Amino acid sequence: MKFIHLTDPHLVERPQKLFDLDVQERLEAAVVSINTHHGDAELCVLTGDLTHWGEPAAYDDINGIMGRLVIPWHVILGNHDDRDTFREAFPDAADDGNGFVQYSLLTSAGRFLLLDTLDAGTPAGAYCPDRLAWLGANLEAARDNGEEVFLFMHHAPMAVGIGALDNIRLRADDADAFGQLIGGFDNVRHIFFGHLHRPCHGSWRRIPFSSVRATAHHTALTLDANTPLTVCHEKPGYAAVLIGEDSVVVHDHSYLEEGGEFAYDRGIPDNADEAPEHQRDWN
């Protein structure tokens, strides 16, 4: 099964730019790339910060641009999003019964659970007991049905070594409760999140995780506790994820660098008649 992980477009109302970037244009280019190369993907998940200021016109652009995808797409909230304006833009967005945008998708690879970590008024994330109860019930249902589970959220639940991001991750007490809950289920295979504006992969409490480049600006790689949040203009990206019976493979793709591909023809060294002896049998 293949799906696309996209995150953090941070759209603003036109004709504004964000940090001198045309964020609509960058998201549009991502959609073109996905349609061109991954139209066979089962779906796309956009893990939050759809907009930067929460403007209605920016949400309109999300709908307009993402609506050009040839595959189904699903969204969750990030800390820059406004829950009320989001609901106006996405009136069919699922509600978990407690006012949070949390929902479940059954896919050919298993159960995707899309979580709401927005804590209005702060850039950090929260996962309160009501949200946790919804997650627990869905994890139990998936286990009872023999389904493997993949979690999607905006905020990282763990520290990643960039102090400015670790200060605005999922609140520590909530992250601990979240970790204890999912750690009790052996069918949770992977956690996908955004918020970092960087590719980042590893494991947390023995569960693999991955984040992906934003389509907007990026966070500088400053692995210390004291540097204020610092951004930079790296190339944007998305991830093409392949889920097999015994693997989850995440391919980060820098889509604005497409077009420079060339065939791999080793040739021979300059001023030589043939390839080095130890490489002569190579294809």
Give one word for 51, left, alpha or beta, with left for phi > 0 and alpha for psi -120 to 50. Answer: beta
Sequential pLDDT tens for the chain (283 residues): 999 999 999 999 999 999 999 999 999 999 999 999 999 999 999 999 999 999 999 999 999 999 999 999 999 999 999 999 999 999 988 899 999 999 999 999 999 999 999 999 999 999 999 999 999 999 999 999 999 999 999 999 999 999 999 999 999 999 999 999 999 999 999 999 999 999 999 999 999 999 999 999 999 999 999 999 999 999 999 999 999 999 999 999 999 999 999 998 888 899 888 888 898 888 6
User: What letters, b where the CB count within 10 A reaches 16 and e where it falls short, cover 181-196?
Assistant: bbeeeebbbbbbbbbb
Answer for the pair 77, 59: CB distance below 8 angstroms, yes or no: no
Q: Could you state, in order of their start, the residue ranges of all structural domains in the chain? A: 2-279
Rounded-to-integer distance, Cα 99 and Cα 271, Å = 71
What are residue 21's DSSP bridge partners? 18
What CATH number does the domain located at 2-279 have? 3.60.21.10
> What is the pLDDT, as a whole number, of residue 155?
98
CA-CA distances (angstroms) from residue 13 to 17, 23, 152?
A: 8, 10, 27
- pLDDT at residue 266 in the model: 82
pLDDT of residue 130: 98
Environment class of residue 2 by beta-carbon count within 10 Å: exposed (0-12), middle (13-18) or buried (19+)? Answer: middle
Helix (H, G, I), strand (E, B) or coil at 43: strand
